[in-house]
Amino acid sequence: MKNLTKYLWLAPLFVLIQILLLNNVQFINYINPLVYVLLIITLPQDTEKWFIILYAFLIGILLDIFEGNIGLNSSSLVFIAFISTYIHKIVIPKNSIDIKEKLTLETLGLKTFSVYAITIIFIHHLFLFSLENFSNSGIFFLLLKVFLSTITTFIIILIFQLFAYKVTEK
Amino acid sequence: MRNLFLFLKKYYFILLFIIIESSSLYLYFSNHRYQHSKILSFTQEYTGAIYDYYSNINEYLNLKKENKFLKKENAKLYSMISYEKENNKNHLHDFIPARIINNSVYKKDNFIVINRGRTDGVKEGMGIMTHNGIVGIISSISENYSKAISILNSKSSVSIKHVKSNQNGSLKWTSHNYMEGEINDIPNHANISLGDTIQSNGFSSIFPENIDIGTIISYNKGNENGLYNIKVKFLCDMNNITNVYIINSLHKKELEEL
């Protein structure tokens, strides 16, 4: 439970990083990194399921209020919160880590973490960008945006993780 | 009854997911309805304050450029004032200066937040412009801030005219490129060439007449309907604007009552 209170105050921090920094450094039309997905990714496996869903909804609705599009971020985050509990079972080898442990680069190792994180980031970006461009045609544009943004988000998340790793090491 | 509880206990996760997911999706697709504007006008005061604080810091980085730009604009406005005095024109519009505190150009529906609200006399439906183009229309207001539908929004439509032929049409934004708009309702027989100017036509009484909006960069004759398909390059770079003017159209009420 101590861990979860930490997650609660991390939520507004990541929302602020997203709206004030990352939404402004979109390099080209195709790349829009969404780093707050990290919060859902790293939740320990034994987290109460209702907490994951409500937590995702909280982050989503905060982002929606700032971006002025109620429902867009919250629905995509709630969706991956739901999916992530099933992806744990598929991607993470049984008994490889303690279920109370956070799912980070440090605990999972680079290979498993990459597969796990990229799967979730990809599903999230695909869901969000298709919802956003719902009636707009241009499947090519959509897929390119999803791919490039997934890669960028993943790289930024890796940097975040390496940074956090070093801090805890000291 | 016991079975019901067992059922709820077993499937509460999926039920919770379905309830929250469907309510978010409902809110998303019921865009611009009552609940939507209610939620946003309630929170706008707080989000606006955060954006305002941040843009205050950010502004220092652009002071020099902004200063140059404002000087240029001042010069243009002086010449406009003298022109109006000479021609003894009726006073049609008031302008409220404002600053953009949040803006986006890469989404499908882009919005703008500005630092003027109800206390400054802003009302819903007023237009926003810069010296070289149209920026958006105010959609919701709170005490000190207001949100506008950007011209870069799939729902926006601005009534315009092609200056040379005097044909009227409406400018929409459908592409992913924030420098390009589209006009699809000018008939084939009009004489159009590349580089022609597009101006606002003042029909809607939101924007004044004869503001330059953009130039034509490509056009082709639509085959079935006898209408041109025209691409327009905006004059103002929507990604790079800070100071704008809110237009208070003094004759709007009179025009609407006709």
* pLDDT tens-place string over residues B201-257: 878 778 888 888 889 998 888 667 778 888 899 888 888 888 888 888 777 777 777
pTM as predicted: 0.74
pLDDT band at A1 (very low <50, low <70, confident <90, very high): low
Q: A-chain residues within 8 Å CB-CB of B106? A: 26, 29, 32
Quote the domain boundaries for residue A122.
2-169
What pLDDT does residue A102 have? 81
ipTM over 0.85: no
Q: Is the pLDDT of residue B36 over 70?
A: no
Query: Could you tell me if A20 lies within 8 Å of chain B, comparing CB atoms?
Result: yes
Q: Is the pLDDT of residue B56 over 70?
A: yes
**Domains in chain A, number:** 1
d(CA B158, CA B200): 8
Residues 91-130 of B with CB under 8 A from A: 104, 106-109, 111, 113
Averaged pLDDT score across all residues of chain A: 84
SS3 letters across chain B:
CHHHHHHHHHHHHHHHHHHHHHHHHHHHHCCCCHHHHHHHHHHHHHHHHHHHHHHHHHHHHHHHHHHHHHHHHHHHHHHHHHHHHHHCCCCCEEEEEEEEEEECCCCCEEEEEECCCHHHCCCCCCEEEECCEEEEEEEEECCCCEEEEEEEECCCEEEEEECCCCEEEEEECCCCCCCEEEECCCECCCCCCCCCEEEECCCCCCCCCCCEEEEEEEEEECCCCCEEEEEEEECCCHHHCCEEEEEEECCHHHHHHC
Q: A-chain residues within 8 Å CB-CB of B31? A: 69
Q: Is the pLDDT of residue B146 over 80?
A: yes
Best to test chain B binding among A34, A55, A78, A146 (most B CBs inside 10 Å): A78
